[in-house]
Amino acid sequence: MLISRTCFGADKEYCKMLFDAGYTAVDINDTSHKPEIFLQSEDEQFQFVKNAVDNIKNAGLAIGQCHAPHSISLWCSTPKEVEQRIVAIENCVKTVSKLDIPYTVIHPFVFAFNNEAENPEKLWQFNIDTIRRICKCATNTTICLENMPGTAGVIRTGEDMARMLSDVGDPNLMVCLDTGHLACQSSTATDFFAAVGDRVKTLHIHDSIPGQDLHLLVGEGRFDWEDFKTVLKEYNYQGSINSESNFVYNVKGELRLEGQILERKILEGFVK
Ligand SMILES: [Zn+2]
């Protein structure tokens, strides 16, 4: 089973450190915060992702997943900006499909973190239509839809996720379980897997506390990790074990390698 870590800037040095720390894969996240790349020429888009892919593979690591550009808040964006962002996500998925990356993670479109949608049903339908558009671009990668933090918006729980999967109606659409986002909702892996366990193909493992999305190291927040470990076994989860904590970004110098090793050991503990 692959032990993977999200990576903002999959440069050669960072990939080598992950290899030295005992990881077996990297998750490409450079793509999530650079939507402008995916509005450039096809060749520029391809070279951008291929550069990360080459650095990862040359370090002896596999690729766990790629994160598509984040959706933007519908609260403060013009229709043109929203459409551009959808196109950037579609283009990212098309590019990823050319590079043998098994999974591409997408977020649903939401209103600002804690702002209620003025018309929840309209927002829900907007997401159905958008996710269908994005799925059509995935010719050689599997789209995984991620659960969200925040007290408003869409897809907060396993039940929300099950309803969206059913409404989108694409049997190839799968799920990325983000544990920190679930902690934000005071929910558990048991509840999430009971709703969509057979569709969970990727993970974003990090910890948090109710009402906040903090991307903490496992154990620093309130998520029920014993429950999580039990559920992975119960459902015979076969995907990679992917961390999305911010923990190591605060660790400098030589200690950084030790930090990566510490987190890798915690991740391995979930599948022992
Ligand atoms: Zn996530």
Residue with tokens 């929203």: 82
CA of 146 to the centre of ligand 1 (A): 7
* Angular region, 168: left φ>0, alpha ψ -120 to 50, beta rest: alpha
CATH class of 3-269: alpha beta
Share of the chain above pLDDT 70, in %: 96
CA of 192 to the centre of ligand 1 (A): 15
pLDDT tens for each residue of the chain, 272 residues long? 999 999 888 899 999 999 999 999 999 999 999 999 999 999 999 999 999 999 999 999 999 999 999 988 777 788 899 999 999 999 999 999 999 999 999 999 876 555 566 678 888 999 999 999 999 999 999 999 999 997 766 899 999 999 999 999 999 999 999 999 999 999 999 999 999 999 999 999 999 999 899 999 999 999 999 999 999 999 999 999 999 999 888 787 888 899 999 999 999 999 98
- The token duo for 131 is 């996710």
Cα separation, 43 vs 215, in Å, equals 34
CA of 177 to the centre of ligand 1 (A): 8
For the stretch 132-181, pLDDT in tens is: 999 999 999 999 999 999 776 689 999 999 999 999 999 999 999 999 99
Residue with tokens 């959706």: 71
Q: Where are the domains of the chain?
A: 3-269
Cα separation, 27 vs 185, in Å, equals 25
CA of 148 to the centre of ligand 1 (A): 8
CA of 204 to the centre of ligand 1 (A): 5
Cα separation, 253 vs 255, in Å, equals 5
CA of 145 to the centre of ligand 1 (A): 10
- The token duo for 168 is 């989108």
Helix (H, G, I), strand (E, B) or coil at 53: helix
Enumerate the β-bridge partners of residue 205: 243
CA of 65 to the centre of ligand 1 (A): 12
Cα separation, 165 vs 145, in Å, equals 9
pTM of the model: 0.95
CA of 183 to the centre of ligand 1 (A): 12
CA of 118 to the centre of ligand 1 (A): 25
